[in-house]
Amino acid sequence: MQVRVLGRVDYLPTVQAMQAFTEARTDATPDELWLCEHPPVYTQGLAGKPEHVLAPGGIPVIATNRGGRSRSMGRGKSLPIRWSTCGGPGTSSRSTCTGWRRRWCARCSSSA
């Protein structure tokens, strides 16, 4: 797996780069782990409505194509983003990602 340490990056161009990476992937593309942090934003999922973010102040509200409503992506959130081929019979991407996220958080907690 290739690890990319992106540091502090703007949210929208990084999401666009992730989408481009995903669209260009083939079966031969190695898995990647992107480590990044971005300035605060609110993301609005497909079920999100403007009234879900009551007082954004100067924090941008960005529409996304993910599920859910609104999410605060605030200051200090470091994001490990894993790009891998998930799957196999009976394996959902949600269960794969949930298990990976739990292991990642446990690892970070134990090293703090």
Task: Using alpha carbons, select from 19, 21, 40 the residue that is nearest to residue 29.
Answer: 21
pLDDT of residue 51: 83
pLDDT tens digits, residue range 28-55?
888 888 888 888 888 888 888 888 888 8
User: 110 is written with which tokens?
Assistant: 């134990």
Q: Hey, where are the domains in the chain?
A: 2-111
d(C-alpha 62, C-alpha 27), whole Å: 31
Task: Please state, in angstroms and rounded to a whole number, the distance separating the CA atoms of residues 111 and 39.
Answer: 25
pLDDT given for residue 78 in this prediction: 60
| Percent share of the chain, pLDDT over 90 | 1
Give the CATH superfamily of 2-111.
Bira Bifunctional Protein; Domain 2 (3.30.930.10)
Torsion of CA 12, 102, 28, 19, to 10 degrees: -10
| pTM (2 d.p.) | 0.63
